C-alpha cells in the first residue's frame, strides 16, 4: 500500500487492533501526510513523536475549537463544540481552572482506600463466578463507579448514565451505538438527567463535583446550566470510557506476553513502570485533532489556515526515535515518556492521576488475587479508529 492510498477511516484496518505496520510506514515515509476522511475535506495525519509534541505544545497555532474529532458533526453537534475539550484560551483556561480543583493530586490520593474497596468487591464477585467477562464484570465497573461517585451520580442511576456514554463514544460500532441520531438522543437524555440532578443539588453544600461546579464562579459569573451539563457529559464520558480500556488492554497484553507477566509477578515493584508501559502499548485514545489557526509548516509540509491536523498518539507511542525497541512490551521500561494522556499543552488529560491510581490498585489486586488468570475466549474489539477498545474478554480463574 502506498502512503497515498492509506485511509485510516477504513475501520477494517483496526479490526485486530491498531495497524502498527501502516503507522510505521507513515512515520518513515510521510510523518505529516494528507489523508482522506469520509464526507469531509481530509486532514493531516501526524504520526511522528516529535511532531505530535510540536502540534500539542502550540495551541495558538493549532487550536481545539471547533472540534477535536477529525470528523465534524453536522450542525452544532448538540452543543459538543462547547465542551472544555473543544475550547481554546481564554475560555478553556477559565473552565479548566474550575475542574482542576477537583483533581489535585491530594484529592486523588485520598481516594485510594475507596478504590481498593470497589476493586475488592468486584474481584470477590468475579471470583465467585470463576469464569467471567473481564470487561463487563471488572474493567467497566471500576472507572464508572469512581467517576460517578466524584461527580455525585446516585448508585442506582449509574448504569443508565453509562449506557448513554457508550452510545456517544461508539458511533462507529453497530453493536453499541450506531447512528449520529442515536448519539444525539443519548446526549439529550444525559443533559435532561444532569438538569434534574442539578435541581436537587443547587444551593446545597454538597462536596461532589456537580455541587462544586454549581457554586463556582468564572470572573464573577456563575456557570450556566448548559456549562454544567457539558462538564457532566465530558467527565462521565472521559472518566468511564478510557480507563476501562487500559485495564482490559493491559490484561490482554499480559496474556500475550507471558515472559513479561512472569517478570511482573516475580517483582511487583515493577507495577508502576508496567502501568506506564501498558499506557504506551495500548494507547486507549488513539488520536485527537487540532485546527490550524494560520498558514504554517509542519515536518516540511505546508499547512493552510483551517486545515485539520490529527495527532496519532498510538503511532507516536511506537516511534523508535523516542522508544528504543519500541515494538517490545517491557514492563520495566524507563524512561517512558509516552503520549497516551496527550503530549503536554493545556489539554493534557485532567484524569491522568486518577486513571493511574485506578490502574495501579486494580493490577496490584489482580496480580496477587488471580496470579493464574487465563483467557477463556478471544477478545471482541471495538470497531473504532478513535478508542482502542475491547468490548468483551472472557477469562477464567483455573483453580475454580
For binding to ligand HEM (CB under 6 A), which residues are involved? 56, 84-85, 96, 143, 147, 234-235, 238-239, 242-243, 246, 284-285, 288, 340-342, 345, 347-351, 354-355
Cβ proximity to ligand HEM: between 142 and 397 the closer is 142
Q: How far is the CB of 88 from ligand HEM (least distance, A)?
A: 10
Q: How far is the CB of 396 from ligand HEM (least distance, A)?
A: 25
Q: How far is the CB of 159 from ligand HEM (least distance, A)?
A: 18
In this structure, what are the phi and psi dihedrals at residue 304, rounded to the nearest 5 degrees? -95, 150
- CA-CA distances (angstroms) from residue 321 to 28, 48, 51, 315, 337? 11, 9, 12, 12, 12
Cβ proximity to ligand HEM: between 19 and 63 the closer is 63
Q: How far is the CB of 160 from ligand HEM (least distance, A)?
A: 19
- CA-CA distances (angstroms) from residue 281 to 25, 223, 263, 343? 18, 38, 17, 16
Report the C-alpha dihedral over residues 209, 106, 99, 204, rounded to 10 degrees.
30
Cβ proximity to ligand HEM: between 36 and 345 the closer is 345
CB count within 10 Å of CB 307 equals 20
The DSSP code sequence of 108-165 is: HHTTHHHHHHHHHHHHHHHHHHSEEEHIIIIITHHHHHHHHHHHT--GGGHHHHHHHH
Q: How far is the CB of 214 from ligand HEM (least distance, A)?
A: 18
Please state the separation of Cα 350 from the chain's center in Å.
Answer: 11
Cβ proximity to ligand HEM: between 93 and 131 the closer is 93
Closest residue (Cβ) to ligand HEM? 351
Q: How far is the CB of 72 from ligand HEM (least distance, A)?
A: 17
Cβ proximity to ligand HEM: between 63 and 397 the closer is 63
Q: How far is the CB of 349 from ligand HEM (least distance, A)?
A: 3
In this structure, what are the phi and psi dihedrals at residue 131, rounded to the nearest 5 degrees? -115, 130
Q: Which of 133, 129, 134, 156 is nearest to 145 (CA)?
A: 156
Q: How would you label 26-53 residue by residue, b for 16+ Cβ within 10 Å and e otherwise?
A: bbeebbbbbbebeeeeebbbbbbbebbb
Q: How far is the CB of 243 from ligand HEM (least distance, A)?
A: 4
3-state SS assignment for residue 282: helix
Cβ proximity to ligand HEM: between 257 and 356 the closer is 356
The residues near 135 (Cβ < 8 Å, ≥ 6 apart) are: 244, 248, 390, 391, 392, 393
> Counting Cβ atoms within 10 Å, is residue 298 exposed (0-12), middle (13-18) or buried (19+)?
buried
Cβ proximity to ligand HEM: between 19 and 239 the closer is 239
Q: How far is the CB of 212 from ligand HEM (least distance, A)?
A: 14
Cβ proximity to ligand HEM: between 366 and 397 the closer is 366
Report the C-alpha dihedral over residues 197, 198, 202, 205, rounded to 10 degrees.
60
Cβ proximity to ligand HEM: between 382 and 397 the closer is 382
Amino acid at each position: 500500500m502506498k502512503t497515498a492510498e492509506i485511509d485510516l477511516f477504513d475501520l477494517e484496518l483496526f479490526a485486530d487492533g491498531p495497524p502498527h505496520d501502516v503507522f510505521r510506514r507513515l512515520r518513515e515515509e510521510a510523518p505529516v501526510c494528507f489523508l482522506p476522511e469520509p464526507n469531509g475535506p481530509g486532514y493531516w495525519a501526524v504520526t511522528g513523536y516529535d511532531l505530535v509534541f510540536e502540534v500539542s505544545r502550540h495551541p495558538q497555532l493549532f487550536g481545539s475549537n471547533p472540534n477535536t474529532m477529525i470528523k465534524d458533526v453536522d450542525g452544532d453537534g448538540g452543543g459538543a463544540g462547547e465542551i472544555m475539550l473543544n475550547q481554546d484560551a481564554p475560555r478553556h483556561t477559565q473552565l479548566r481552572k474550575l475542574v482542576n480543583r477537583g483533581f489535585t493530586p491530594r484529592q486523588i490520593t485520598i481516594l485510594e482506600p475507596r478504590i481498593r474497596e470497589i476493586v475488592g468487591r468486584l474481584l470477590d464477585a468475579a471470583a465467585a463466578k470463576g469464569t467471567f467477562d473481564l470487561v463487563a464484570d471488572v474493567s467497566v465497573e471500576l472507572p464508572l463507579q469512581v467517576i460517578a461517585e466524584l461527580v455525585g451520580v446516585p448508585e442506582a442511576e449509574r448504569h443508565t448514565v453509562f449506557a448513554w456514554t457508550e452510545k456517544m463514544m461508539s458511533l462507529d460500532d453497530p453493536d453499541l451505538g450506531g447512528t449520529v441520531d442515536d448519539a444525539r438522543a443519548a446526549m439529550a437524555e444525559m443533559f435532561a438527567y444532569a438538569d434534574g440532578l442539578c435541581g436537587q443539588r443547587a444551593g446545597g453544600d454538597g462536596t461532589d463535583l456537580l455541587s462544586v461546579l454549581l457554586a463556582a464562579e468564572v470572573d464573577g459569573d456563575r456557570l450556566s446550566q448548559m456549562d454544567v451539563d457539558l462538564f457532566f457529559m465530558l467527565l462521565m464520558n472521559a472518566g468511564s470510557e478510557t480507563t476501562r480500556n487500559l485495564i482490559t488492554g493491559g490484561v490482554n497484553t499480559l496474556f500475550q506476553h507471558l515472559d513479561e507477566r512472569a517478570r511482573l509477578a516475580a517483582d511487583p515493584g515493577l507495577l508502576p513502570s508496567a502501568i506506564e508501559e501498558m499506557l504506551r502499548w495500548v494507547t486507549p485514545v488513539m488520536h485527537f485533532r487540532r485546527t490550524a489557526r494560520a498558514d504554517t509548516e509542519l515536518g516540511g509540509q505546508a499547512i493552510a489556515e483551517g486545515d485539520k491536523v490529527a495527532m496519532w498518539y498510538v503511532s507516536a507511542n511506537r516511534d523508535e526515535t523516542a522508544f528504543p525497541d519500541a515494538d517490545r512490551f517491557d514492563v520495566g521500561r524507563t524512561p517512558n515518556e509516552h503520549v497516551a494522556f496527550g503530549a503536554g499543552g493545556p489539554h493534557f488529560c485532567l484524569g491522568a492521576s486518577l486513571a493511574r491510581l485506578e490502574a495501579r490498585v486494580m493490577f496490584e489486586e489482580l496480580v496477587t488475587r488471580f496470579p493464574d488468570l487465563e483467557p477463556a475466549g478471544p477478545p471482541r474489539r471495538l470497531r473504532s479508529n478513535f478508542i482502542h477498545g475491547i468490548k468483551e474478554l472472557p477469562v477464567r480463574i483455573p483453580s475454580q
